[in-house]
């Protein structure tokens, strides 16, 4: 049994599968889920999707910010005439495991001075990095790894998403000096059953104390 954990899910870019991976981790750990900032798609938010994919195995904690426009948080907040403040991104209290899904990648701005990285430096929680197979993946993944290491943010490892490219995976793991926590296949249909099956491909025990 893995001791209660709070884990941040970050992506190397946009549309790399953070929500699918987050839902799979909720399945694996029967965890709570929290998306601190939702920008756009408020009627079909990532929290709603995770609830559908997991049938609410754990508790869904409400977002700190719900922004109307599907764009970078700082820009969406400006349209809504508010400013995101790190002090208001308060991690929910729970005795259960908690999966926290970032809004975008590490360097995505939250306001005109601060980014997701600044918040990660503040909370000092371990990160699972989601990497998707596409041209440019190696560069984007290694840059994300370097940013985490340079800022002393603990990286648990990488979950790869999509049709596997073994050469790309090998380069990332060796050059980045990190570990693979699993590879999720491309899902033709994303639903409760497919997410539950995909969760079995994740091996958090490679990084966490059992």
Residues 31-54: what's their mean pLDDT?
93
3-class DSSP assignment, residue 38? strand
User: In the Cβ-directed half-sphere of 57, how many Cα atoms lie within 13 Å?
Assistant: 23
Q: Which residue(s) pair with 33 in the sheet? A: 60, 99
Look at residue 81 and tell me whether its pLDDT is greater than 70: yes
Counting DSSP H helices and E strands in the chain, the numbers are 7, 9
pLDDT digits (tens, 9 = 90+) for 48-65: 999 999 986 788 999 999
Distance of CA 45 to the CA centre of its chain: 15
Under the banding of pLDDT at 50, 70 and 90, the label for residue 82 is very high
Q: Is residue 35 annotated as part of the catalytic site, yes or no?
A: yes
pTM of the model: 0.92
- Given a contact cutoff of 8 angstroms between Cβ atoms, the answer to whether 59 and 96 are in contact is yes
Which DSSP symbol is given to 111? S
Q: Determine contact, residues 166/201, Cβ cutoff 8 Å.
A: no
Average pLDDT on 23-32 reads 93
Condensed to tens digits (0 to 9), the pLDDT of residues 110-138 reads 999 999 999 999 999 999 999 999 999 99
pLDDT in tens, 132-155: 999 999 999 999 999 999 999 999
Which residue intervals of 96-200 are DSSP H helices? 116-123, 137-150, 166-176, 192-199
123 in Cβ contact with 133 (< 8 Å): no
How long a stretch of residues is the chain? Answer: 210
Give me the pLDDT at residue 112, please. 93
Specify whether domain 6-206 bears CATH 3.90.550.10. no
Specify the DSSP class assigned to residue 123.
H
DSSP states of 76-106 as a string? HHHHTT----GGG-PPPP-SS-EEEEEEEET
- pLDDT value at position 210? 38
List 6, 35, 49, 169, catalytic entry: 35
Statement: residue 208 has pLDDT above 90? no
């Amino acid at each position: 049994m893995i001791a209660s954990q709070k884990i941040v899910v970050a992506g190397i870019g946009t549309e790399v599968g953070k929500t699918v991976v987050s839902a799979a981790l909720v399945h694996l750990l029967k965890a709570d889920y929290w998306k601190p900032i939702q920008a756009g798609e408020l009627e079909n938010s990532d929290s709603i999707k995770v609830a559908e994919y997991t049938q609410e195995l754990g508790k869904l904690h409400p977002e700190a910010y719900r922004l109307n426009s599907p764009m970078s948080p700082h820009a969406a907040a400006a349209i809504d005439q508010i400013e995101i403040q790190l002090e208001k991104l308060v991690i929910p209290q729970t005795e259960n495991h908690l999966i926290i899904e970032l809004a975008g990648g590490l360097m995505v701005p939250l306001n005109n001075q601060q980014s997701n990285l600044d918040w990660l430096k503040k909370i000092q929680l371990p990160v699972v990095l989601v990497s998707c197979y596409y041209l440019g993946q190696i560069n984007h993944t290694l840059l994300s790894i370097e940013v985490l290491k340079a800022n002393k943010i603990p990286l648990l490892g990488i979950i790869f998403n999509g049709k596997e490219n073994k050469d790309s995976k090998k380069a990332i793991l060796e050059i980045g000096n990190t570990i693979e926590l699993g590879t999720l296949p491309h899902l033709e249909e994303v639903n409760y059953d497919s997410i539950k099956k995909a969760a079995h491909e994740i091996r958090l025990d490679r990084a966490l104390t059992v």
